[in-house]
A and B are shown apart, each in its own frame.
Chain A
Amino acid sequence: MPEHLLASLLIALIGGIVDLDSTATWQFMISQPIVAAPLTGLFLGNLYGEAAAGLKLGLMVGVILQLVWIEQLPLGMNVPPDAALASVLSVALGFISGHSYESYSEREVCYTVALLLAVALGLLGRSLDMFVRRLNTNLDTWVCQKVEDNSLWAIAVGHTLGGFFTFTKAFIFCFLVVWLGVEPLKYFTQTLSFKHGSGFIVVQGLLPAVGFAVLASMVLKDREETRYFIGAVIMFTLLPAKIFLAFIAAGIVMYRAHKGAKK
């Protein structure tokens, strides 16, 4: 089987499973970008004999998409952008199209363009999700009629069909995007001047700021907290960048908050 076809099928399968987790079943959160993207990178990297490179790309993509869509919640009727499919497709498109380039900067351009493209695909994924939910609405009406007619088998069949629609939607979508999308992406990145490739690396380095801004909007409630927050940012600017310092500080603040709440 040609390698590209095999990769497309693998991504379609991962996309289908991961998309099932996002709302339809389990909800273990393997559909979160921070998990879905590295998972895709690991499997794809194994296929191409570059597991570590795939995993690192997955982590980079996972971090950015996790941050950008951290506030998107599946509450009630709200259907958020399909972060799971965006993560899988971003890694797949970036890795496969970047695989054919030798230099670091050329690959990075592919990764960044694929990331930006995947954000748009995440929005398209949301439309597909809404389409599946409309299909499920017809299914629900059908099941109600069947139960009224005493055909009780319809409950399990209807419910399973709902999950099947979700999986099939993601499977076909991922397969088509990877199967048809890699070559145009390669062509597009070739038309970009690679001498400015480092500019895309600068973009990649700054993109987390957008996600941090979203997260800051979520967690900062008033001016006093904002002042403390800015103080903490300055403190961590001056301290060495050690992870344990972050967790110690978080632990102290959480302990004090918990104790204060008890009082």
Chain B
Amino acid sequence: MRTLPRTLLARIAFRSFFLQASWNYRGMMSMGFLYAIRPGIDQLHSPGPAREAAYLRHLEYFNTNPYFSSIVMGVTLALEERLSRGEIGEEVIHDTKEGLMTACAAIGDGLFWDSWRPFVATVALVFALGNYLLTPLIFLALYNLPHLYFRFAGIFWGYREGTHVIRSLRQFQFPQIRQTLRLGTMVLLAYLIPNHVNVHTPFLLTNLPLEYFYFGEKVVQGFGALLLVTLGTFAYRARVDVLLISFLLMIFALVLYHWGILI
């Protein structure tokens, strides 16, 4: 039987927003984890050695994806509840938490950092380069929909399903979602390159009849941008630092401008 009320779980999910406030090289997110679940621990263990042991247990190393951390919190509280009833030992909590935090880190980091954030950023870039002043709001609204969903729903899943929560997570088919997002990002990038890298040369003005000028300008800009991006991609994949690439591009642009090739 579950004893923690829903309001308390929601409060813990809210406290998980502060998970990384004291991020450090020893316990990483451990202090934040304990800070977040403390109301649950206080409710499950009466004051005394059991509660103190629970605190010390959760000051051990902890690191996961912050958006998926509430899932681990929910499962941990479910196990703490079973421990308080004497159904399991401490080592079960330790082992489960360790396994779950690694799984959630792998899923969450892959989904949010590697796929969702670049995709939403690219959507925002399309709007920003089109001079939409509300771009920051679009970015925030879009990005935070799944963030808040996993943050608040996660703790309830974790607490309700316990160690079976991984099975529920599998239903999302994260690899397919990531692949879809990557392809979407690719298409939006293909739109951005010819339209928002400004390659202008005076030769078209002097050599092309006016009726072909617009088309010629667009073609030169598109292919010039593609060439620059291709060179940049080769350099980046050859592990040249992005700042060095920017610096070289700046020198290149200033020299071409000085010679009158770019305007």
Interface residues of A (CB under 8 A from B): 23-30, 32, 34-35, 38-39, 55-56, 59, 62-63, 66-71, 73-77, 116, 119, 133-134, 136-137, 139-141, 143-144, 147-148, 150, 152, 155-156, 158-163, 166, 196, 198-199, 202-203, 205-210, 212-221, 225, 229-230, 232-238, 241, 243, 245-247, 249-250, 253-254, 257-258, 261-262
16 contacts between A and B (CB under 8 A): A25-B21, A35-B136, A63-B125, A73-B109, A137-B25, A143-B31, A152-B52, A196-B254, A205-B197, A206-B249, A207-B246, A212-B193, A214-B242, A219-B118, A243-B127, A250-B187
Cβ–Cβ contact B253 & A212, under 8 A? no
- Name the residue on B nearest A166 (C-beta): B21
Supposing A24-B23, A163-B18 touch, asked if A209 and B109 sit within 8 A by C-beta, the answer is no
Cβ–Cβ contact B21 & A199, under 8 A? no
Cβ–Cβ contact A219 & B185, under 8 A? yes
Contacts of B126 in A (CB 8 A): 243, 246-247
Nearest CB on B from A91, distance (A): 12
Cβ–Cβ contact A27 & B147, under 8 A? yes
Checking A34, A69, A250, A258 against B135 with a beta-carbon cut-off of 8 angstroms, the contacting residue is A34
Supposing A29-B143, A34-B139, A136-B24 touch, asked if A144 and B128 sit within 8 A by C-beta, the answer is no
In the complex, identify which listed stretch (B4-12, B78-86, B205-213, B222-230) lies at the interface while the others stay far away.
B222-230
Checking A55, A70, A137, A237 against B219 with a beta-carbon cut-off of 8 angstroms, the contacting residue is A237
Q: How far is the CA of A246 from the CA of B186 in the complex (A)?
A: 11
- Name the residue on A nearest B257 (C-beta): A199
Nearest CB on A from B254, distance (A): 5
Contacts of A221 in B (CB 8 A): 182
Nearest CB on A from B154, distance (A): 14
- Residue among B118, B125, B223, B232 with the highest chain A CB neighbour number at 10 A: B125
Contacts of A249 in B (CB 8 A): 187, 190-191
Check: B198 CB closer than 8 A to any chain A CB: yes
Number of A-B contacts (CB under 8 A): 302
Checking A29, A141, A230 against B140 with a beta-carbon cut-off of 8 angstroms, the contacting residue is A29
User: Chain A interface mostly helix, strand, loop or mixed?
Assistant: helix
Cβ–Cβ contact A162 & B184, under 8 A? no
Contacts of A136 in B (CB 8 A): 22-25
- Name the residue on B nearest A37 (C-beta): B136
Cβ–Cβ contact B183 & A203, under 8 A? no
Cβ–Cβ contact B198 & A206, under 8 A? yes
Contacts of B117 in A (CB 8 A): 29, 32
Contacts of B46 in A (CB 8 A): none
Q: How far is the CA of A166 from the CA of B113 in the complex (A)?
A: 22
Nearest CB on A from B141, distance (A): 10
Chain B 31-84 residues near chain A, CB threshold 8 A: 31-32, 34-35, 38, 52, 55-56, 59, 63, 66-67
Contacts of A163 in B (CB 8 A): 18, 21-22
Chain B 165-222 residues near chain A, CB threshold 8 A: 173, 176, 179-200, 218-219, 221-222
Counting contact residues on chain B (CB < 8 A from A), the size range is 35 or more
Contacts of A143 in B (CB 8 A): 31, 59
Contacts of A238 in B (CB 8 A): 218-219, 222
Cβ–Cβ contact B125 & A67, under 8 A? yes
Nearest CB on A from B183, distance (A): 5
Nearest CB on A from B112, distance (A): 9
Cβ–Cβ contact B183 & A253, under 8 A? yes
Supposing A35-B140, A73-B114 touch, asked if A216 and B233 sit within 8 A by C-beta, the answer is yes
Contacts of A76 in B (CB 8 A): 63, 105
- Name the residue on B nearest A36 (C-beta): B136
Closest 10 CB pairs of A and B: A213-B232, A162-B22, A237-B222, A205-B198, A232-B190, A246-B191, A136-B24, A163-B21, A261-B176, A237-B194
Cβ–Cβ contact B22 & A237, under 8 A? no
Q: How far is the CA of A217 from the CA of B200 in the complex (A)?
A: 25
Checking B67, B183, B184, B190 against A233 with a beta-carbon cut-off of 8 angstroms, the contacting residue is B190
Checking A139, A150, A219, A230 against B226 with a beta-carbon cut-off of 8 angstroms, the contacting residue is A230
Q: How far is the CA of A72 from the CA of B232 in the complex (A)?
A: 17
A25-B18, A143-B59, A147-B56 are known; give 14 further A-B pairs, CB within 8 A: A55-B133, A68-B242, A116-B250, A136-B24, A155-B38, A163-B21, A166-B21, A202-B262, A206-B249, A212-B193, A218-B185, A236-B222, A254-B181, A261-B179
